[in-house]
Structure 1
């Protein structure tokens, strides 16, 4: 009688891992509030404020491969624990950053936070693909990722209520302030980040204790014993270079993350530029509703995957977003803002679908491949900065052409994936 180890997986580890998707959603989307907040507090240009995302996603880029190595050496559970500890330390760094009132310190704290998240995402995403039926890997990962926008919405709400002050002096009002008044304004704005990040640090470090105390199933604990099929990271990388579908997936993930991060990072800026008189808190509400649309899209998209091939569905969503971002560019105003917010619904399934599709049939290469897919998140650093440069040189409307190009790449990957022979996803279970 065949054994069914997956059916006996304890509930506690599943809850702990799914909650990680919520936690990194909070951290990721707090950045979308931090960008306009720090832009105001430090009098930054759009390009300078975009360094918030650049510092953040560089952490993913540099730590993703070490995270993959950690999985091979210590297993998933210990890698998750490392990620939580580093994440917690990064959140604690916001307190001295606000005291020193140095923009570089904020960027350093964001880099450390993202370094911890690199360990979490590199381990949690593939772990979800093995905790169940391999043929439902894409659907299961989409379901787990559906909790990510709950964290994203929470992050924006935390930022809107506890970081954004609603105090937005004009250039004339700033010029009329005395040196003491200007310093007091900057101190207040900088220190508003301290309490939210201290609370986040407390939650994350508490979660690390729970992960350390919980018994995980064998595939999440110690690394598998060496076998004839086991590969070193160097051997895996060498073989991955010949996997065209996987390489295209890495590129698609780079452009997708760049589009997502860029749109969300500049939505408040776009709203204030396109709708005269709109304050930062009102603009943040549009970002919140955009993330609600993203969350709804995750659940709707996951349900639609029962009837439609995931990559084909993603291709249709990518085409819709090309139309919506072009509306934001060439129409602008309130309609452009609505189109930009609506694009989140169609972005919803892209990250997990690209991730799971790219890992298809990689077998023992899957761990290393997962690291590269997480490294591709650096698109958020590169393309958001490009959008900031375009905005400074022209306007925030034309900066939205960058996401348009990104969605064209994602659509191309979806079309290519539809032509790749599709077998069951049992090989994805060979993590």
Structure 2
């Protein structure tokens, strides 16, 4: 490989994108096309970068399996950054295996990190942890090791294991400083800042207050009876009752928990659960039926009794009944939680990440766009949706994937 290619590769590794482009901007051979593609990706021109990398992969001969695999890995990284979750993941695994076979363990580890980050993005935490366990970060260079520790921290945050997440981010910061890549240093700092932002609200008999992720972790591990409005479940320590598919029952449980230890008036229950402004006998009959269903669903954790004014919820074990709510109550919050990462998402990628139908996601996006909370760029298949980051928005607790003991 000639000196200009080597110098351009070293410049890219050090984060000097313009320095790399100066050396290969006018060349059309396969190594130069690959380096130009990576450089354009770092400058944010992802469409041009993808085209260059495809051209490079075609230009490399059949005997240059390692170079072709590296192009595939770079293309996969672009797909991840551009939230193209429909990109063929089997191609990445094939490229990773080829790199591993030919002894390029550093790029094979980078490919593995990309697989883990994709799984983390769509909420497949168990599978991400299995892949993570197969990767030994000790021999990796600082930049790849920082990416690995970010993946470790991401899984720990989504599992609400905050101390391990802090430790992983500390290791990531040290590795990023050794790598000396400004963009990587900023990425680690942004991830660390998430741990100190408000992640939820605690609604209890004493009133409301914001909670950090540390406090959320402590709450879910305590003896409190928690109605979790971030996941639509009711939990106490390790016991969890899901009401995700029963929104009326969850609405009733939330009103009862907010009123506890006092009773919740029937009029309030009818208004919050059914949207009934003027209740008649049919509404009251339905309320009795739904409260009966809720009583049966929560029977292991709480008792619901009728009073003269309404109904009262009493946990079976000593402890308070509280509500864990997002700090900002908005409709379609899970869509906003994904968009709040600042990246441009397609509706199909949002559908994959949320495990819901594309039409449902499109309706949510249209409603959010009408409210001025998101905006679209491009048309047709090139249409992407984005929003500016919102300080304090509950990105972690509303993202897809299970929390502890789910």
TM-score where L is the length of structure 2: 0.22
- Specify the structure having the higher radius of gyration (Cα): 2
Give the structure with the higher percent strand. 2
Q: Which has the higher helix share?
A: 1
- Give the TM-score, by structure 1 length: 0.21
